[in-house]
Structure 1
Amino acid sequence: MRKNNFILFTALVGALLLFSCKKDDGGVDTIPPRDRGEEAIEAEADIITYLETHFYNYEEFNSPPEGFDYTIRFDTIAGDNANKTPLMEQVVSKSVQDRIDEDVFYDLYILKARQGEGKSPNFPDLAVNSYTGITIRNNEVFDASISPVKFDLTQIINGLQEAMIEFNGADPELTEQNPDGTITFKDFGVGAAFIPSGLGYFSNPPLGAGIQLYDQLIFTFKLYEVEIGDQDEDGVVSTLEDLNDNGIEEDDDTDGDGVPNYIDGDDDGDGVPTSVEVELDDDGNIIFMDSDNDGIPNYLDSDS
């Protein structure tokens, strides 16, 4: 699920790709990644085929039986299930830009089995959830957590990040702390994301995870709780560090040091930590100081 914690794996995969095809003269032919636009077309075709030939247990969600666990389960439309409603008629889609090639856009298909009654995360927030990941290629599970785990949404693959922000967590008024230390969540969001390779691992899947190059993925998930993200703990919540307001955390870098603002403790590179250049009022609201009154807050103004 994570997009930034497989650096070593990525390097190893890259090495295998670079040295997998030797020339007769002893040299090496490189195998470049597929064109992202062409791969996007093939990925959508794979996903649509799956959506048209599979269904989920929508009847259980519509009329939950006693003890229902609100887990999404998929099956093929065939035989006794020939009359089931295909996923294609039950998903919604959103247009998502490729993070590498800005000219490429994807239709990200999302199944909203249950919206949820709590708070909805923003793209750089933290989310408590349980999940299962499978590949469309063979329907095999490659990653899962039945128990709730907390994820930084900036550290997971973009397709899942873009899907989870469309849901709400559990109703906080109904959340209960149990005597054994566990928590019971109610009215939480339940969904699935059908993720093209360009919003997943593309040509750099993690080794040993059961994911092949250019695999399309499906993640089902239950969203329980949301926590506001401030990844660099500089006092400026990460949603406010998205200066161009495009919902992408990686492309805002005020001082041009190669470190995006949301993980840069000194956004303007003036040697003064951002946490010193902002203040909080009595209500906990951020005050953006502007010492030289030039309209640029100190934390983004290198000569303030």
Structure 2
Amino acid sequence: MNIKSIFYFLAINLIFISCKKDDDAIVIAPPTDLSEILVDDEAALQAYFSTHFYNYEDFENPAEDFDYKIVFGTISGANSDKISLLNSEGFGFKTVKVKSENVGITEGDEEIDHKLYYLVAREGIGATTTIADSTYVRYQGELLNGTIFNSYAAPIWFDLPDLVTGVIGFAQGITAFKGGGPGSVNEDGTVKIEDYGIGAIFMPSALGYYAAEQTNIPAYSPMIFKIDLLAVNQTDHDNDGIPSYLEDVDGDGRLNNDNTDSVDEEKAFVFIPNYLDPDDDGDNTPTSEEIDIVNGEVVFRDTDNDGIPDHLDPDTK
């Protein structure tokens, strides 16, 4: 995944309003500092990882009727000998330990790294996922105490760039998985997909909803998403011939902050990110006419050899 991302989220600007009983005055309190919540969230996630396991043995030697669902349990009683999510790697199982990536979140002028954790029970055999893709997913969202706050038993399509401005942890974490194999049509018209990616994403609250309370999700709640990634579609949102993942110009893992249009100060300037803009440099020549497609691959021209591809260079016509 190796993606460093800066997430400007609305929750930082939220306020909590309460009323005093004596005079009904409104008391406004700002959200708790991001750095303070980060410490609490990280401690809560580490405690969960050290005291919980998942059904790794089922995935290692699946029974004929195994439903390939992730199940988490507490290491106690009859399960006292289970291997925790922190320590399971190296005990003969292929991939049963949580891994992490840093995701940068801004607070004022400071960028603070937050760890996004993911568990790959089965990677999948299909297409690799990027932050720009459309994904066909089943999932269940739950809190660390096991409370389920959302669930889709039937698959749903998610356009990942949309999620980066919401639950960034989901959009970033799912890139650790691949889709399934080619689907086959059953006699009843349903489609069967096998060998898809299965796992879970664990995120601190700043990569989720942070201070914004949601239904069954209190403010500052770390979250878990169990996922089945069935299919991945590479996208070209603006149909300019360049796959959207290649329009992350600064390479930070987000598409919504990349805009290379030339700016005319005398005209109103509308921010349209490159992946949604069919004329990336604003020179009135469509991007599709400033690139070449060779054997199905995009080739970026640099006609004036200035190191800037033609489709990003308004000086090149």
- The answer (yes or no) to whether the contact 1:95–1:105 under 8 Å persists in 2 is no
Question: Does the residue aligned with 1:52 lie in a helix, a strand or coil?
Answer: helix
Is the 1:192–1:221 contact (alpha carbons within 8 Å) kept by the matching residues of 2?
yes
Alignment of 1:29-68 (within 5 A): 29-68=27-66
What residue identity is the alignment partner of 1:151? F
Is 1:148 the counterpart of 2:161? The answer is no
TM-score by length of 2: 0.80
Instruction: Confirm or deny that 1:224 pairs with 2:222.
Output: no
- Show the 5 A alignment for 1:217-256: 217-255=223-261
Matched, 1:185 2:193: yes
Offset of 1:110 from its aligned partner?
1.4
Between Structure 1 and Structure 2, the one with more helix by share is 1
Which AA in structure 2 matches 1:178?
N
Measured against aligned partners, the alpha-carbon deviations of 1:117-136 in whole angstroms (never above 9, x if no partner) come to: 22211121111121111011
8 Å Cα contact 2:186-2:192 kept in structure 1: yes
1:144 and 1:204 map into 2 onto residues whose CA distance is 20
Check the 8 A contact 1:21/1:30 in 2, yes or no.
no
**Normalising by structure 1, what TM-score?**
0.83
| Structure 1 contact 126–153 (Cα < 8 Å) conserved | yes
- Shift in Å, 1:289: 4.5
Please report the RMSD computed on the Cα atoms of aligned residues, expressed in angstroms: 2.8
Given residue 159 of structure 1, which amino acid in structure 2 is its aligned partner? G
Matched, 1:201 2:181: no
Matches within 5 A, 1:67-86: 67-86=65-84
Letter in 1 for 2:312: L
- Helix, strand or coil: the match of 2:237? coil
SS in 2 for 1:30: strand
Following TM superposition, by how much is the alpha carbon of 1:193 offset from its aligned partner in structure 2, in angstroms?
Answer: 0.9
Looking at structure 2, the residues matched to 165 and 155 of structure 1 have their Cα atoms a distance apart, in angstroms, of 14
Does the Cα contact within 8 Å between 2:179 and 2:229 map onto a contact in 1? yes
Name which of structure 1's ranges 186-195 and 105-114 shifts more when overlaid on structure 2: 105-114
Cα distance in structure 2, aligned partners of 1:121 and 1:195: 19
| 1:8-47 map, 5 Å | 14=14, 17=15, 19-20=17-18, 29-47=27-45
- Cα 1:228–1:159 shift into 2, 3 Å: same
1:275–1:29 distance in 2 versus 1, CA, 3 Å: farther
Structure 1 unpaired stretches of 5+ = 1-6
On the 8 A contact 1:93/1:107 being kept in 2, the answer is: no
Query: Matches of 1:273 and 1:166 in 2, distance apart?
Result: 34
Identity %: 40
Query: What is the aligned length?
Result: 287
1:160 has 2:170 as partner: yes
Q: Distance in 2 between matches of 1:23 and 1:267?
A: 56
Unpaired runs of 5+ in structure 2? 1-8, 89-96, 264-269
Displacement after TM superposition at 1:287 (Å):
4.2
Q: In the alignment, what sits opposite 2:126?
A: 118
1:134 to 123, 142, 147: 142
